[in-house]
A = this chain, B = another copy of it.
């Protein structure tokens, strides 16, 4: 691990165990340089990392302050206990890994085919008129409770050898571990929509119930889009957490 990541982790521990209370100031950048025996650039990267994680806020001329977040005072989320979180701090690392610690993940595959995608999807995946895609539709469940229907397209050429048993398990694990691809970023559009009759049946809810829709394009570190997906998450069982720095 890099020095700045270790320093960030160390400061984070000091915040979480209360050694630096919410509202209090961190040691100055120069003090942290001396404390950890590193240069200023390294301390700055550590502090930036903490700011991205939502723990601190820096004010030029004044100092870096621990944010008074509910987490730092042990307050639970409003729906804690009855909400299955899609992801902490809005990092998409795939459904299986997100929920792995929460229970048993399973999938019902409604469709798994190779086809020429609709023009709008082809445009998003940077494909020509005649390029083929995998197209799969699946319901994902946690401990038997349906959470989300995912409708996914992936270019055939980028993802060779995808089989039905990958779709029944974790596609992302296949991409990373078997193909050695590096998933770099996701562009998302989030909406609230009403469940159709078919979706309601698959998700064990009522028609018209609110769903959290995520329209998403995933990119590799080569800049190539490897996935276009529209997922519809049961509103009462899902929430998306984000941290926004201005």
Q: Which of B75, B184, B244 contacts A124 (CB 8 A)?
A: B75
Q: Are the C-beta atoms of B223 and A210 separated by less than 8 Å?
A: no
> In residues 67-83 of chain A, which contact B (Cβ within 8 Å)?
67-70, 73, 75, 77-79
Please tell me the size bucket of the interface on A.
35 or more
Provide the residues of chain B in CB contact with A242, threshold 8 Å. Answer: 90, 187-188, 190, 242
Q: State in angstroms the CA–CA spacing of A189 and B75 once bound together.
A: 15
List 14 additional contacts besides A65-B223, A70-B123; criterion CB under 8 Å. Answer: A57-B219, A57-B221, A67-B219, A73-B123, A78-B189, A91-B244, A91-B246, A184-B246, A185-B246, A188-B241, A190-B240, A192-B211, A192-B238, A210-B210
A128 to chain B, nearest CB (A): 12
Q: State in angstroms the CA–CA spacing of A3 and B183 once bound together.
A: 30
Q: List the 10 shortest-distance A-B pairs measured between CB atoms, nearest first.
A: A65-B223, A192-B235, A68-B126, A192-B192, A192-B210, A210-B210, A192-B212, A190-B240, A59-B221, A67-B223
Residue of B nearest to A182 (CB): B59
Residue of B nearest to A184 (CB): B57
Q: Does A58 contact B (CB under 8 A)?
A: yes
The interface of chain A, by Cβ under 8 A from chain B, is 22-23, 41, 51, 54, 56-59, 62, 65-70, 73, 75, 77-79, 90-93, 120, 123-124, 126, 182-194, 208-213, 215, 217, 219-225, 233, 235, 238-246
Known: A56-B223, A225-B68, A244-B188. A193 touches B210 (CB 8 A): yes
Provide the residues of chain B in CB contact with A190, threshold 8 Å. Answer: 190, 212, 239-242
A53 to chain B, nearest CB (A): 11
Q: Are the C-beta atoms of A223 and B188 separated by less than 8 Å?
A: no
A90 to chain B, nearest CB (A): 6
Q: Are the C-beta atoms of A185 and B245 separated by less than 8 Å?
A: yes
Q: Which of B56, B77, B244 contacts A186 (CB 8 A)?
A: B244
